[in-house]
Structure 1
Amino acid sequence: MAAFKTIALFPEASFGAALNCVGIAQELRRLGARPVFICHPGFSGVFSEYGFPEYQLADDASGAPTDWNDFIERHQDAFRQTPFDQLESYVGPTWDAIVDTAIRVEEPLRQLLARLKPDAIVLDNVVMFPAIANAGVPWIRVVSCAETEVPDRNVPPYLSGCGGTPDRSWQRFATAYERVTAPAHRRFSAFLAECGLKPLEASHFLSASPWLNLVLAPQIIRHDREKALDPQRFVFLDGCVRHEAPYTPPRFASHNDAPLVLTSFGSLGAMDVAMTKRMIEVFSTLPYRFLVNAGHWRDEYRDVPDNVFIDSWFPQPSVVEQASLFIHHGGNNSFCEALYYGVPSLVMPYCWDGHDNATRAAETGVGRKLDRYGWNPRDLAAAIGELIADGAMAQRLKANAKTMRAAAGVTRAAEEILKVADTAAIGARAS
């Protein structure tokens, strides 16, 4: 039945969610379905590059689209703060911007879904769009952020970077988070009511799907929940990695037989050129090869050491597979790709769920956490060298990678999505 199914995928305006959905869409296509992408302004071309039809949401006349590069640049000073301090300076303003976006695209999204007539909608986002809830077809929620997005008494508060067991710091963060997000939540609740939907509980902007929820949280880093999630509605994915073209590392002027290290802080984190240049100075003293993702700021780098290669983009899964270490910001997509290929992570977070994943990497022994700004050259060099030399960690990660590949996360995700679409179609015919 898959051949008759149009599956609309709507990821948030971030490359992590977008490329996670690409992996699922590739498998949906292989199984005979017709995946199509709904994308925010600024993401046109991302999905067509992989051969998928894409439909950009038209701008509503009520306001200009959020320019996330500009938003991040204006709030970049917050990245030097603790997760708790970021609640006021970054998390609150981010939720305001997210709610603005959801309200602005409601009518264009409703019209687009009426045209597309999908059999199911895959929502990889942190906020609900009433047009999706009211579309008359099943919607599937994908949690491609850290598992902490799905709350539980034994799981640290979302975005807190907390670890260990529940204590006062957990409650302090959760209380402050609810207070800071309350204004955006009130606006969002009123918007949901206007669209005929019930408001969500305090500090929540997206509920679980009644049909299917896909949670990108490999077993090796998964939390021990007090209340297990309903296996009929929640499916954990041990990786959800897209297919990319093979990548051949460049010929370096030196260290060509040395271990390969990939450094990538995402499309937004790459704007901190000064911090990356500090890191490159350290890289130049180490006996390894380094690939550095510079994003749109590639031309800001002039004098590059012999053992460093800088580019604006790499086919990340193809590079991670060859790497001995992945230095990243803790984005869940990057973290899970490192685990999928058995590569240790050096996580240097700056916002959002990167804090949670950095703590979890250290807690579960799959990498280390290093403050993004509060390091000295000796700290960084030691962390890199010790992670590459840790044979016990490497052995454990390689064994886990074998398990994750066997679990075939993208296949499981695609099959579960099509199962939901098929069940809905059968029910519609029966009625």
Structure 2
Amino acid sequence: MTDQPTAPPDADRLTVLFMPESAHGPTNQCIGLGKVLLDRGHRVVFAAERSWEGQLAPLGFVEALVDLAAPDPDAGDEAAGQFWIDFINETAPEFRKPTVEQLGAFIQPTYRALIDGAQYCEPQLRQIIAEHRPDVVVEDNVVSFPALVTSGAPYVRIVSCNPLEVRGPDVPPVFSGYPAGDRSGWDAFLAEFDRTHADTWASFNAWVQAQGAPPLPARDFVHTSPVANLYVYPEELDYVAARPLDATWHRMDSSVRELDEDCSLPERFRDRPADSALIYLSLGSLGGADISLLQRLVDLLATTRHRVIVSMGPRADEIRLADNMDGAAIVPQTRIIPQVDLVITHGGNNTTTEALHFGKPMVVLPLFWDQYDNAQRVHETGYGRRLSTYGFADHELLDAVEDLLGDADLRGRAARTGEAIRARDGLRRGALVIEQVGLDHRAGRG
């Protein structure tokens, strides 16, 4: 496949169906890919969760929405991804535990909730596929939806979490946050994963096969595509040397969507003193629901000479910003990050890859899921500092900020890395892989 094939003629106009997980990260990832495909003349259908209603059609996509649970007749309009905001709020105390203890307390219940959603919406997905007859189906989730695998169209898997989700004997276990250079805890972590997840996996595997799909791989809750798999991670952070991947896998070094609105900094930020840096603080659309943690970070950064842009999250009206700050519930992140000197993040895959895409060092405070793996990888590859999210001392955060801002070698290295990542144009690479899969299928080549 060439890097920049010409747009297909009308006769080759594809229908591409995306099924993203309902949180903002995976959905925005699919929106970015879908926009490239839309611009190339294809029809793009989103089988997204229903709380995204009205947000996708204005972008040019077809909304074919699904419910992941029986609608609550007493509920009002929900924010996009509200189910997971509520879920995170309820389980936030578990994030203070070591990752091995989170396996039973958080990871397994999360898988269970995702499985319940997949099982509930299976008949809806089959109807959507029958109606829209996609030429290729694309899933960005961590559990399988058998209707996608058995649709008759080629199935493409996206891994928009840390790529340790693709397991291997010589890389740390996913969700552990363990160092790549220290194997001492790996076996015990995997044993605990098996203890806490074996029954859930076995019952889901049986249900998946009962729907006509192939068996699931051991320990995995999602099918790998025999045709094409995409994952989002910069080459500079990747694990390929330790865990080689076969030819079906395609790395998108970044996936920076091109839909964010322009953003101008407040006047007082543009004219700040020479010794005042600009910092972006975000705990993500879900992590921002932990307002006690976010407020602590805000209060600490208020003691510095720097200016701070804060993504305040779903409970923005409860956050008190200081005079050296500006923010909103949702900010145009991909417009903000290029303008800042440092990113303080929870380590979600979108923010991690976007920060490196724009060449910015990071302070990473992981909360859940793959954020520990991203935090550890940023730390051990030298692009930032991992801190204990609930255990850091005030001076540790402030020292990390000053150390990273003052490290000219690191800032230069990060900037050069960002230039290289942007040149590799991962978003279009991923979209062209999806397009080629559909064209090959249409032509009988796959």
Q: TM-score range by the shorter chain?
A: over 0.9
- Aligned 8 A contact 1:154 1:224 in 2: no
Deviations 1:242-278 (A, max 9, x none): 0122211223489734321111111111111111111
**Secondary structure in 1 aligned to 2:444?**
helix
Match of 1:262 in 2: 280
Shift of 1:301: 2.5
Q: Which of 411, 414, 426 is matched with 2:428 structurally?
A: 411
The CA distance in 2 between the partners of 1:60 and 1:89, in whole Å, is 22
Residues 200-237 of structure 1, C-alpha deviation per residue, up to 9 Å, x if partnerless?
A: 23321112101100111211101144452112x11111
Please point out which of 351, 371, 387 is paired with 1:354. Answer: 371
* Cα distance, 1:53–1:413 mapped onto 2, change above 3 Å: same
Q: Establish whether residue 278 from structure 1 lines up as the match of residue 296 from structure 2.
A: yes
Cα 1:250–1:115 change in 2 (3 A) is same
Are 2:126 and 1:117 aligned? no
Counterpart secondary structure, 2:144: coil
Provide the residue aligned with 2:418 in structure 1.
401
Match of 2:257 in 1: 242
Q: Is the 8 A contact 2:29 2:255 kept in 1?
A: yes
2:63 counterpart of 1:54: yes
Structure 1 residues 60 and 254: alpha-carbon distance in aligned structure 2, compared to 1, 3 A threshold: closer
Structure 2 distance, partners of 1:198, 1:13, is: 24
**Partners of 1:50 and 1:316 in 2: CA distance:** 18
- Once the two structures are superposed, the pairs formed by residues 319-330 of structure 1 within 5 Å of their partners are 319-330=336-347
Kept in 1, the 8 Å contact 2:171–2:180? The answer is no
User: Is the Cα contact below 8 Å between 2:256 and 2:354 reproduced in 1?
Assistant: yes
Give the C-alpha shift of residue 287 in structure 1: 1.2
> Residue by residue, what CA displacement relative to the aligned partner does 1:151-170 show, whole Å, maximum 9, x if unpaired?
11221101110113352301
Deviations 1:362-389 (A, max 9, x none): 0101111011111122111111111111
Structure 1: runs of 5+ lacking an equivalent: none
1:184 partnered with 2:193: no
- Pairing partner for 1:139 from 155, 162, 166: 155
> CA shift at 1:421, angstroms?
0.4
For residues 65-122 of structure 1, the C-alpha deviation after alignment (integer angstroms, 9 at most, x for no partner) is 9922222121110011111111111011111111111111100111111111111111
Separation in 2, partners of 1:371, 1:2: 53
Q: Contact 2:228–2:249 at 8 Å: present in 1 too?
A: yes
Give the alignment partner of residue 287 of structure 1, picking from 295, 305, 319. 305
- Looking at structure 2, the residues matched to 2 and 242 of structure 1 have their Cα atoms a distance apart, in angstroms, of 25
Q: Which whole-Å CA distance do the structure 2 matches of 1:296 and 1:226 have between them?
A: 38
Q: Give the stretch that moved more between structures: 249-258 or 276-285.
A: 249-258
**Equivalent residue for 2:234?**
218
- Structure 2 distance, partners of 1:379, 1:178, is 35
Task: Give the percent of matched residue pairs that are identical in Structure 1 and Structure 2.
Answer: 33
The whole-number CA distance in structure 1 between the counterparts of 2:283 and 2:55 is 18
Unpaired runs of 5+ residues, structure 2, are 1-7, 74-80
Secondary structure class of the residue paired with 2:52? coil
Q: Distance in 2 between matches of 1:345 and 1:49?
A: 33
Specify the alignment match of 2:36 in structure 1.
27
Does residue 87 of structure 1 match 2:103? Answer: yes
Are the aligned partners of 2:111 and 2:143 in contact in 1 as well (CA < 8 Å)?
A: no
What is the match of residue 422 of structure 1?
A: 439
What is the CA RMSD across the aligned residues, in angstroms?
2.1
Deviations 1:292-324 (A, max 9, x none): 11122111124x321011310101110011111
Give the superposition deviation at 1:47.
2.5
* Cα shift at 1:402: 1.0
Distance 1:254 1:234, change over 3 A: closer
Amino acid at match of 2:331: F
CA distance in 1 between partners of 2:442 and 2:54 (Å): 31
Any residues of structure 2 matched to 1:374-393 within 5 Å, and which? 374-393=391-410
Q: CA deviation at 1:11?
A: 0.8
Select between 83-92 and 166-175 the one with higher mean Cα deviation: 166-175
Q: Distance in 1 between matches of 2:443 and 2:197?
A: 41
CA distance in 2, matches of 1:66, 1:266: 13
1:199 paired to 2:215: yes
Alpha-carbon distance change, 5 to 56 in structure 1, aligned in 2, over 3 angstroms: same
The number of residue pairs the alignment matches comes to 427
Q: Distance in 1 between matches of 2:340 and 2:89?
A: 30
Query: In structure 2, what residue type is equivalent to 1:234?
Result: W
TM (norm. structure 1) is 0.94
Q: Distance in 1 between matches of 2:437 and 2:53?
A: 28
Alignment of 1:337-348 (within 5 A): 337-348=354-365
SS in 1 for 2:429: helix
Distance of 2:428 and 2:9 partners within structure 1? 13
The answer to whether the 8 A contact 1:59-1:108 is kept is no
- For 1:46 and 1:171, the matched residues in 2 are separated by 44
Counterpart of 1:100 in structure 2 is 116
Q: Which amino acid aligns with 2:251?
A: F
